[in-house]
Amino acid sequence: MELFYREYGEGKPLIVLHGLFGFSDNWVTLARQFASRGYHMYLVDQRNHGNSPHAEEWNYEVMAEDLRDFVEKHELERPVVLGHSMGGKTAMEFAVRYPNMLEKLIVADIAPKAYPVHHQQIIEGLSAVRLEELTKRSEADRELQKYVQETGVRQFLLKNLARDAQGNFRWKMNLPVIRRHIEEVVRPVCEGAHFMKPALFLRGGKSDYITEADYPLIEDIFTDVKFVCFEQAGHWLHAEEPARVLEEVLAFLEE
């Protein structure tokens, strides 16, 4: 699969994978800062997201294979892989399957465990937006507000609203496949596997995606792991505390 990506800088390759409903644009500001410090940044849209192709098959195995193909096609020599949320699970799955293809792993606010499905309200809201009737983005926001009260979350989701060649609104994400296969996003990864290269897990102190109770599971799989907690941040810690994310990741990369 030919994944869409954004590219910045020169130097050591660092691949960034976004989370569910996101795409490469979410990481541009931080990517430019990493690029200014000597890293060759690749911000990748995972399948069924952003500007990458849509496909019926959607799970962590195929997304890890997509990443392997991307690394091989671009002839990247042992890149660092950073993934947030869903992207973190893809990164973990890739790391345990192909440990010799990366140098270090960075995971932002996700554990390799199973989670309950908790995206139904967002999916219902996105599905309720009548794209064929939209004349402007504010109309989509009003409809989505019936399902998603948080303004910041709606703004994040509405970044997926685009126009096709005829000028009609469309979702960049493959909403029908996401809706049918949402259980794939919350299932565990890396069961029975081990990754012995350096790994950094970042977590938001106000998020429940990773808690200290998850550390033993993570340490069992990722045997050379470091944890950093951003006490005042939630799940989108890279948006809430970008300066500290930059600082902690650079320190880890330069160890």
Give the per-residue pLDDT at 31: 97
Q: What's the 3-state SS for 131-187?
A: HHHCCCHHHHHHHHCCCCCCHHHHHHHHCCEEECCCCCEEECCCHHHHHHCCHHHHC
Q: Cβ(17)–Cβ(67) under 8 Å?
A: yes
Give the per-residue pLDDT at 169: 96
Residue 107, both tokens: 């995971």
Residue with tokens 């069924």: 48
The full set of domain ranges for the chain reads 5-114+188-253, 120-180
From CA 200, how far away is CA 159, in angstroms rounded? 29
For the chain, the first-to-last Cα distance in angstroms comes to: 34
DSSP class of 195: E
> Which residues contact residue 60 at a Cβ distance below 8 angstroms, ignoring those fewer than 6 apart?
89, 90, 93, 184, 187, 189
Residue 120, both tokens: 């139904």
Task: Identify residue 62 by its one-letter amino acid code.
Answer: V
Give the per-residue pLDDT at 240: 95
List, by residue number, the catalytic residues. 85, 235
From CA 134, how far away is CA 36, in angstroms rounded? 40
Q: Cβ(207)–Cβ(234) under 8 Å?
A: yes
Helix (H) or strand (E) holding 104: strand 104-108
Residue 175, both tokens: 């909403």
Of residues 125, 126, 118, the one with CA closest to residue 175: 126
Ramachandran class of 109: left when φ > 0, alpha when ψ lies in -120 to 50, beta otherwise: left
In tens digits, what is the pLDDT along the chain, a chain of 255 residues? 999 999 999 999 999 999 999 999 999 999 999 999 999 999 999 999 999 999 999 999 999 999 999 999 999 999 999 999 999 999 999 999 999 999 999 999 999 999 999 899 999 999 999 999 999 999 999 999 999 999 999 999 999 999 999 999 999 999 999 999 999 999 999 999 999 999 999 999 999 999 999 999 999 999 999 999 999 999 999 999 999 999 999 999 998
Give the per-residue pLDDT at 150: 92
Q: Specify the pTM.
A: 0.96
Please determine, looking at this structure, whether the domain spanning 5-114+188-253 carries the CATH number 3.40.50.1820: yes
